[in-house]
């Protein structure tokens, strides 16, 4: 029998509107009743999915059998060393290594055959020990290669402990700093490390300077008091400048410091101005600045080192092209951009030749500059993937224009990309906007499949969506997804507004008081897939802010879906954004609006927040997956949502699965993650 959540009504009034939240007690993480309820939900979910155990085991074995368990990455050159990571069969975590550089070409590494002279920097398996959760927050060698800064998390709450290792002796240094955030940056000489810490709202707000071996307290070099802003610290590729960035969802401000002068004062490039975002990289005698001042899709400018606030346009604004990032090198510049829903790379040669774009042959793909640590190089490293092409590493020779494949992730079991096809469809939203859908199927599949009785019917479909923060769900390859495709499924990504797939305006049309476009776009995509014959049974899937999307579309059009998978779902959005004491709330006001102080925003959010809009009509079966230690979307959101669905709605069943020792990303070990994915996929297969 399904657990019945006790009702402890809590009355709240905002802007004259009084609401009753009968499940608010679930916010009390340390209450034994809360833990007992979550464990009862886990037991019920296990009972309700017991019939899927064999299928789950089969899917897990399929994922495992297609994965080269002993494998390694393409080495990345940083000064005198080639850095890479490798995995070993039977081990949950990666192993970070390096070998001394000999020549410009990366060494040829073969799985299971460590190179002579290999130095293990970090073995995640040794560090994890018997801990049920383990994560590395940062791992970065000093510019001279003599030291390593790394941080670890054993709970999943993304609060790390920072440590340092002498790479010449292998000795672990006594310096140990708890409670740090992701990232960090070295000074040029490796004597000093800069790191960030978080406040009670889980906001990185301070940058500290730590001098290795010093008994003095670390110096706070910057503190951000505006609760809307995060801070971060980095080092330019040239290793010449430290960059200290403060940014909200819509505004940014950058400070710089000569990396040779770690005790000096950071200076502001341009003071923050609401709505203006910018970032920079160092390129010899000038900086490259990517900004949106008067350019909604961003433009690229240059600025003299002596006067970084003086910006001269280099690549002007285009309505059809969103500039994403810029990588500066000694003799060229690489610009990462987005156009027509696809990413691309534009090269600006330093020898006077005309700029050009690197061509790629597939109709759908995603390409990103990646692993380019060296400033002086004639080669550009690229990461590439598509719905049918496994993650690949290319080197682009800037002298010859040759695109050289260095490695493609092996997929065992006879996988052939030619056996699969990818397409793009366009749905029409309620307001007439064309919404792209990326689709992958087994090759030769008709829009009409055959069910187990021999009758013709459209194939089952998983429709995935996100649609927030300008984050794009670009076409990507998944080994686990093959277990669906080889069983006749269609996999589709709805590139709904709120994401960044079609440029900055696409994002702006799916946030604040236009947020409902995200949800109606997804519904339009589902209806389109049915109308054109791709599917009759659709399982919707999304996580985090995509979990909000899942809750919203389940309220809007429950009849469209055979099931809904919502992972770490942001389904109690209104109550969370109303509470500035919760982590990230104030930061999020630029994304969702401020319902605490603005009655119009309150009314708008209340009209779509999934928890507030659960009705008594029939809903499809829903599987919500969460983690007890999640600091981004608290476990109580899906717990409250499932309780209200079960107490109010028809249909179902409504299942909640809580990882009791993990964070926002779920379980940390790769085999554990495969088991979790196999669980979700077996549930999807059963629904469709």
Q: Which two tokens stand for residue 185?
A: 């940056």
Side-chain-side CA neighbours of residue 458 (13 Å): 17
Catalytic-residue membership of 664: yes
* Contacts (Cβ under 8 Å, ≥6 apart) of 266: 221, 222, 242, 244, 255, 256, 257
Q: Find out whether 609 and 573 touch, Cβ atoms under 8 Å.
A: yes
Residue 645 CA to residue 675 CA, distance in Å, equals 27
Determine whether 620 is exposed, middle or buried from the number of CB atoms within 10 Å of its CB (0-12, 13-18, 19+). buried
Q: Find out whether 97 and 84 touch, Cβ atoms under 8 Å.
A: yes
Residue whose C-alpha is closest to residue 324's, from 279, 287, 387: 279
Residue 153 CA to residue 629 CA, distance in Å, equals 12
Dihedral angle sign, alpha carbons of residues 654, 659, 660, 663: negative
Strands 461-465 and 490-494: parallel
Determine phi and psi for 72, rounding to 5 degrees. Answer: -150, 160
Q: Find out whether 3 and 41 touch, Cβ atoms under 8 Å.
A: yes
Q: Find out whether 532 and 524 touch, Cβ atoms under 8 Å.
A: no
Determine whether 361 is exposed, middle or buried from the number of CB atoms within 10 Å of its CB (0-12, 13-18, 19+). exposed
Catalytic-residue membership of 291: no
Q: Find out whether 561 and 527 touch, Cβ atoms under 8 Å.
A: no
Q: Which of 73, 664, 668, 682 is catalytic?
A: 664
Determine phi and psi for 646, rounding to 5 degrees. Answer: -65, -30
C-alpha 607, offset from chain centre:
28
- Rounded to 5°, angle at Cα 537 from 440 and 624: 90
Dihedral angle sign, alpha carbons of residues 348, 350, 354, 359: negative
Residue whose C-alpha is closest to residue 116's, from 97, 90, 96, 139: 97
Residue whose C-alpha is closest to residue 229's, from 256, 207, 205: 205
Rounded to the nearest 10 degrees, what angle do helices 545-556 and 516-531 cross at? Answer: 60
Q: Which of 142, 544, 609, 668 is catalytic?
A: 544
Residue 60 CA to residue 177 CA, distance in Å, equals 38
**Three-class SS string for 142-157?**
CCCCCEEEEEEECCCC
Name the one residue in this structure whose structure tokens are 């093959």.
482
* Contacts (Cβ under 8 Å, ≥6 apart) of 11: 18, 19, 20, 21
Determine phi and psi for 244, rounding to 5 degrees. Answer: -110, 115
Determine whether 316 is exposed, middle or buried from the number of CB atoms within 10 Å of its CB (0-12, 13-18, 19+). exposed
Residue 100 CA to residue 182 CA, distance in Å, equals 27
How many Cβ atoms from other residues are within 10 Å of residue 574's Cβ?
A: 23
Q: Find out whether 148 and 121 touch, Cβ atoms under 8 Å.
A: yes
Q: Which of 468, 630, 668, 682 is catalytic?
A: 630
Output 592-597 pairs: Cβ under 8 A, ≥24 positions apart: 592/511, 592/512, 592/515, 593/512, 593/513, 595/14, 596/14
Q: Which residues are catalytic?
A: 544, 630, 664
């Amino acid at each position: 029998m399904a657990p019945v959540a006790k009702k402890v009504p809590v009355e709240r009034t905002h802007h004259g509107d009084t609401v009753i939240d009968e499940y608010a007690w679930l916010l009390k993480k340390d209450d034994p009743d809360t833990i007992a309820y979550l464990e009862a939900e886990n037991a019920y979910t296990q009972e309700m999915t017991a019939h899927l155990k064999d299928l789950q085991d089969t899917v897990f074995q399929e994922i495992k059998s297609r994965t080269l368990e002993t494998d390694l990455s393409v080495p990345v050159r940083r000064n005198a060393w080639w850095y890479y990571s490798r995995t070993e069969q039977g081990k949950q975590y990666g192993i970070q290594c390096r070998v001394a550089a000999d020549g410009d070409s990366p060494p040829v590494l073969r799985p299971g055959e460590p190179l002579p002279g290999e130095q293990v920097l970090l073995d995640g398996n040794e560090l994890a020990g018997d801990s049920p959760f383990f994560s590395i927050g940062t791992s970065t060698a000093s510019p001279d290669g003599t030291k390593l800064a790394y941080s670890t998390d054993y709970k999943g709450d993304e609060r790390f402990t920072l440590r340092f290792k002498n790479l010449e002796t292998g000795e672990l240094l006594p310096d140990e700093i708890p409670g740090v955030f992701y990232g960090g940056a070295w000074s040029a000489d490796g004597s000093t490390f800069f790191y960030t810490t978080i406040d009670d709202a889980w906001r990185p707000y301070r940058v500290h300077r730590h001098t290795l071996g010093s008994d003095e307290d670390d110096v706070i070099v910057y503190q951000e008091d505006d609760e809307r802003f995060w801070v971060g610290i980095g080092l330019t590729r040239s290793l010449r400048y430290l960059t200290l960035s403060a940014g909200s969802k819509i505004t940014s401000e950058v400070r710089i410091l000569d990396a040779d002068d770690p005790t000096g004062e950071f200076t502001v490039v341009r003071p923050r101005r609401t709505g203006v975002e910018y970032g920079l990289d160092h390129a010899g005698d000038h900086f490259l600045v990517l900004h949106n001042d008067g350019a909604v899709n961003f433009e690229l400018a240059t600025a003299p080192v002596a006067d970084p606030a003086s910006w001269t346009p280099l690549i002007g604004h285009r309505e059809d092209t969103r500039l994403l990032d810029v990588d500066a090198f000694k003799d060229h510049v690489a610009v990462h951009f987005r156009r027509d829903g696809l990413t691309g790379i534009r090269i600006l040669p330093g020898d006077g030749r005309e700029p050009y774009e690197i061509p790629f042959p597939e109709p759908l793909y995603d390409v990103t500059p990646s692993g380019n640590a060296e400033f002086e190089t004639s080669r550009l490293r690229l990461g590439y993937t598509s719905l049918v092409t496994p993650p690949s590493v290319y080197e682009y020779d800037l002298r010859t224009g040759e695109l050289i494949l260095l490695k493609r992730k092996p997929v065992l079991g006879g996988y052939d990309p030619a056996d699969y096809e990818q397409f793009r469809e366009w749905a029409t939203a309620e307001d007439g906007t064309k919404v792209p859908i990326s689709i992958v199927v087994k090759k030769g599949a008709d829009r009409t499949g055959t069910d187990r009785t021999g009758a013709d019917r459209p194939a089952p479909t998983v429709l995935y969506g996100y649609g927030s923060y300008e984050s794009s769900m670009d076409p990507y390859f998944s080994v686990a997804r093959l277990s669906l495709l080889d069983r006749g499924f269609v996999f589709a990504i709805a590139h709904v507004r709120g994401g960044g797939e079609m440029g900055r305006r696409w994002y702006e049309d799916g946030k604040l008081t236009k947020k409902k476009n995200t949800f109606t776009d997804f519904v339009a995509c589902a209806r389109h897939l049915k109308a054109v014959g791709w599917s009759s049974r659709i399982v919707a899937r999304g996580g985090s802010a995509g979990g909000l999307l899942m809750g919203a579309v389940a309220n809007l059009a429950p009849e469209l879906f055979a099931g809904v998978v919502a992972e770490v779902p942001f389904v109690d959005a209104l109550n969370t954004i109303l509470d500035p004491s919760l982590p990230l709330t104030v930061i999020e006001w630029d994304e969702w609006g401020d319902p605490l102080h603005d009655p119009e925003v309150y009314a708008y959010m209340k009209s779509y927040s999934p928890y507030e809009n659960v009705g008594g009509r029939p809903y499809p079966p829903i599987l919500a997956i969460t983690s007890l230690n999640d600091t981004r979307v608290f476990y109580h959101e899906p717990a409250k949502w499932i309780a209200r669905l079960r107490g109010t709605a028809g249909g179902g069943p409504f299942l909640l699965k809580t990882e009791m020792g993990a964070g926002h990303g779920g379980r940390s070990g790769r085999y554990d993650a495969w088991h979790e994915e196999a669980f979700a996929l077996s549930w999807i297969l059963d629904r469709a």
